[in-house]
Amino acid sequence: MQIPDLNLLVTLDVLLAEGSVTRAAKRLQLSPSAMSRALARLRDVTGDPLLVRAGRELVATPRAIALREPVARLVQDALAVLRPLEALDLGQVRRVFTLRTSEGFVETFGPALIDRLALDAPGVQLRFVQKPDKDSKPLRDGAIDLETGVLDGDTGPELRTQGLFRDRYVGVVRQGHALATGAMTPARYGAERHVAVARDALAKGLIDEALAKHGVIREVATIVGGFATAIWLARSSGLVATVPERHTRGLREGLVSFELPILVPSFQVSLLWHPRMESDPAHRWLRGRLREICADPTI
C-alpha cells in the first residue's frame, strides 16, 4: 500500500477552514496555482471534489464537511507531537514511578524523597520494589522506571547511569556486644560469629578475602539474602553483620557500628534508567531530586 503525502492533511485543514484557494494559499505562503494543484491532488486521493464552485464562491461537499473536524484534530495532534517540550508543571503531573533498589535504600533515603515529592509534585507517587538480581530487562520493557545499584559487567551497555554516592562497609553489633567497645583487630573481628549476606550459597566474598590476608577465617553462623535481614539478626542476637554504611543508615539506629579492621574497597552506588526516558521531563526531574537527596551528607 502506497502511503499518501501526509502534508496534504495540513493543506486540507486550511482549505476547509478558509473555503477559498486564494486565502488558503496566502495562509500557507503558497502561490494560488500551487494551492490549486494541491487541491487537485486532494481530490484525487479522496475521490471527492471537496470544494465546488457556487457562483463566485467555493462550497464544501458533504464529504468535506464530514472531514472538517477529524482533519483539524489530526493536524493539531500531529503539531503537538512535533512541538518542543514545554516547561514542566509539577503541580499538574499525575504519574506513578517505580524504583527498584536494594534493602536499606528506602529506609534511608525514602522519607526525604517522599517529603520532597509531596511538596513539589503531590500528584507523583513512588512505588518501591525489591531488587532480587541485576537483570536489566525490567528497565528495557518499562516495568520499572529507575534502579539503583553497583555497576559491573552485567549492567546493560545501553542503560544510562549516574553516580549517586560512594559507600563503604562497616561492622554492626547490638549494644553490649563484645565488639561494641575496645580496639578492633582482624583477629578479634574474625573470632566472633557472623551473619553473611549473599545472593547464593557461596558466603565467601570480599570480607573473607580481606581476612584471609591476615590469616583469619571467620565463622559464618548463617547466610541471608539482604542487608536488612542481616541487621535484624545483629540486633536480635550476638551475630556480627557487615553492611554498607550509608545505604543502611536508616536501619542501624540503636546499634553499634564500627570501622572494619581490614581493607575492603569502597564502592559507588549509581542510578540507572533506559535511554527512552532520557528526555522525559518528569523522569528527568525525579532523577535530579534523587541525586540531590543522595548527595546530602546529613542523610
Dump pLDDT digits (tens) for 8-31: 888 888 888 888 888 888 888 889
Dump pLDDT digits (tens) for 228-266: 999 999 999 989 999 999 989 889 999 999 999 999 999
Average pLDDT, integer, range 77-100:
78
- Parallel/antiparallel/unpaired status of strands 95-101 and 146-149: parallel
pLDDT of residue 140: 82
Using the Cα atoms of residue 254, residue 168, residue 208 and residue 103 in order, give the sign of their dihedral: positive
Supply 282's cell numbers: 518528569
Dump pLDDT digits (tens) for 116-164: 999 999 999 999 998 777 777 888 878 899 999 888 766 777 788 999 9
pLDDT of residue 133: 72
Q: Kindly list the distances between the CA atom of residue 215 and the CA atoms of 13, 146, 186, 210, 212, in Å, as whole numbers in the listed order.
A: 82, 42, 9, 9, 5
Supply 295's cell numbers: 548527595
**CA 267/CA 220 separation, integer angstroms:** 23
For residues 241 and 193, the answer to whether their CB atoms sit within 8 Å is: no
Dump pLDDT digits (tens) for 200-234: 555 468 899 999 999 999 999 999 988 999 999 99
pLDDT of residue 204: 62
Q: 90 falls in which pLDDT band (50, 70, 90)?
A: confident
Which comes out higher in pLDDT, residue 202 or 41?
41
Average pLDDT, integer, range 70-79:
81
**CA 19/CA 37 separation, integer angstroms:** 16
Q: 96 falls in which pLDDT band (50, 70, 90)?
A: very high
Q: 83 falls in which pLDDT band (50, 70, 90)?
A: low
pLDDT of residue 86: 57
**Residues linked to residue 101 through DSSP beta bridges, in sequence order:** 130
Q: What is the mean pLDDT of the chain?
A: 88
**CA 296/CA 145 separation, integer angstroms:** 23
pLDDT of residue 178: 95
Cβ neighbors of 195 (< 8 A, separation 6 or more) are 220, 221, 222, 223, 224, 230, 233, 234, 239, 240, 241
Which comes out higher in pLDDT, residue 255 or 32?
255
Task: Pinpoint the residues of the chain covered by CATH 3.40.190.10.
Answer: 90-167+268-295, 169-265
- Parallel/antiparallel/unpaired status of strands 193-197 and 240-244: parallel
Task: Pinpoint the residues of the chain covered by CATH 1.10.10.10.
Answer: 7-82
What is the pTM assigned to this prediction?
A: 0.67
**CA 48/CA 276 separation, integer angstroms:** 42
For residues 175 and 255, the answer to whether their CB atoms sit within 8 Å is: yes
Q: HSE-up of 269 (CA within 13 Å, CB side)? A: 24
pLDDT of residue 80: 63
Q: Name the residue among 177, 193, 171 with its Cα closest to residue 260.
A: 171
Cβ neighbors of 255 (< 8 A, separation 6 or more) are 172, 173, 174, 175, 231, 234, 235
- Parallel/antiparallel/unpaired status of strands 169-173 and 240-244: antiparallel
Average pLDDT, integer, range 46-74:
87
**CA 114/CA 100 separation, integer angstroms:** 15
**CATH number belonging to the domain at 7-82, selected among 3.50.50.60, 1.10.10.10, 3.40.640.10, 1.10.1660.10:** 1.10.10.10
Cα distance from N-terminal residue to C-terminal residue, the chain: 60
CATH number of 90-167+268-295: 3.40.190.10
Q: Does domain 169-265 have CATH number 3.40.190.10?
A: yes
